[in-house]
Amino acid sequence: MQFLLFLLAFSLVKCEETIFVVEFIRHGARSHFENRSIFEDVGQGELTQKGEAQMLQIGLQRRQEYVFKKRLLSERYNQREIIAIATFKNRCIMSGELFLRGIYPLQDIENIAERTYDGYTIENTLIEKVINDTLTDQKTCLRAPILGIPFQNDHFMHTSNCLNLHTYLNQDLFDHQGLYELLEVKFPNGMINSISKELSHTYNRSITSLRHFFTTIDAHIAELYHMDHPHTSFYQQVECFILAHNFHGPNPLPEQIFLSRLLSPLIELFSNLQMKQMSSLKYLLIVLHDTQLSNMLRHLGYFDPNQTSTYKVRFASSLRIEIVKMDESLHLRFIFDNEEFKPQKFCSEGRIMCELSEFIQRLKESIITDADKIKEFCNGSVEQFDFEIKYKS
């Protein structure tokens, strides 16, 4: 009788198998861009020793989970199983290298004579184009096994290859005054003013704009993290809140372009997986920056606007999306910094995980999937850009 009950219970358990992982990860801890001798023998904006240790440790964690526990990856490095790409910033490239050293310790994965990958999962995707353009660029020095994507070829991670988007963010064409006021509401009781005074005193400068405030708090966080300061997490919440709302304003188009460049490759990738589940490619690692990760998490609904403590993109923060096969259907598991969550507006209620086809459809409805429209926006002149903003708003 007990044996029959065991069989019944076993039959009710849904067997699941992780068949693919996409991981978006921010680079590890870095130095800042200030002329202060806090970081010894580290160039401005480069990984610190703590940042290097971070990325290596995360790689070791992934080895335990995806090599030994879930049996997704082979014990020894197989370049057909994993693709790793990064923005052109050296701190991102180095972070990816150290991550892979953690997954494959004591293995020579740098001296690879030939880079090959199973093309099907990324076939006819923007990711494939970015990789192929980089591999065929004879002027590009690539560091195996991670591809650092030059900004000329990068059509989805960094904004440098989208003139109007880059201009919009870096020349503060968003409603920076409105964002500052929102910041004061979300962090009440004069907290922002107190932080501003502290930063002004510490760095001997006048904080006269949101741009000044942001660049200074960004430098301060790098120092606090380097010193293991207990208040680091709070300052990171403030910075993350700014980044997650840096498209604040009446016009939704720049934000849509930014998110569409970042997320449309997921639609292509997941659609390929739907058509053909079997592929030797198992893992896609994308190393980028806090701006991309913060906006992606906000779009997915991870942050609670009423709880600023949820805004916590840190150095080496990671968003993993696991494609899980369960009862012959495909689902998605979302994990941010080892905490599983469910993007509610992209999934039906009552389900533990998102159903893949439903997520694809809802994501399509939330972004611009027309690559020509995105390209037109990016390549247009500033005058055309301004006109389109007024027209769309």
Cis peptide before 145 (omega within 30 of 0): yes
DSSP state of 367: S
State how far the Cα of 103 lies from the Cα of 175, in Å rounded to an integer: 43
State how far the Cα of 37 lies from the Cα of 181, in Å rounded to an integer: 34
Contact 341, 334 (CB under 8 A): yes
198-207 contacts, C-beta under 8 A, 24 or more apart:
203/34
Least Cα distance to 65 among 342, 382, 367, 318 occurs for 318
Q: Residue 366, exposed/middle/buried by CB under 10 A (0-12, 13-18, 19+)?
A: middle
**Helix, strand, or coil (residue 44):** coil
Task: Give CA angle at 323 (93, 135), nearest 5°.
Answer: 35
State how far the Cα of 82 lies from the Cα of 171, in Å rounded to an integer: 37
Residue that has been written with the tokens 């065929």 in this structure: 136
Q: What is the pLDDT of residue 117?
A: 59
Pairing, β 16-26 against β 318-326: antiparallel
Dmax (CA) for the chain in angstroms is: 78
Q: What is the pLDDT of residue 115?
A: 56
DSSP state of 125: S
**Helix, strand, or coil (residue 174):** coil
Q: What is the pLDDT of residue 41?
A: 84
Contact 221, 231 (CB under 8 A): no
Q: What is the pLDDT of residue 350?
A: 76
In Å, how far are 198, 255, 389 from 251, measured between CA atoms?
33, 8, 6
The fold for domain 14-162+252-366 equals: Rossmann fold (3.40.50)
The stretches in the chain having pLDDT less than 50 are 5-13, 113, 141-143, 381-393
Residue 389's φ and ψ, nearest 5 degrees, are: -60, -50
User: Beta-strand (E) ranges in 13-59?
Assistant: 16-26
- The residues pairing with 329 across neighbouring beta strands, listed in sequence order, are 326
State how far the Cα of 325 lies from the Cα of 328, in Å rounded to an integer: 6
Look up the pTM and report it: 0.91
Query: Domain boundaries in the chain?
Result: 14-162+252-366, 167-244
Contact 102, 304 (CB under 8 A): no
Sign of CA dihedral 230, 191, 45, 42: negative
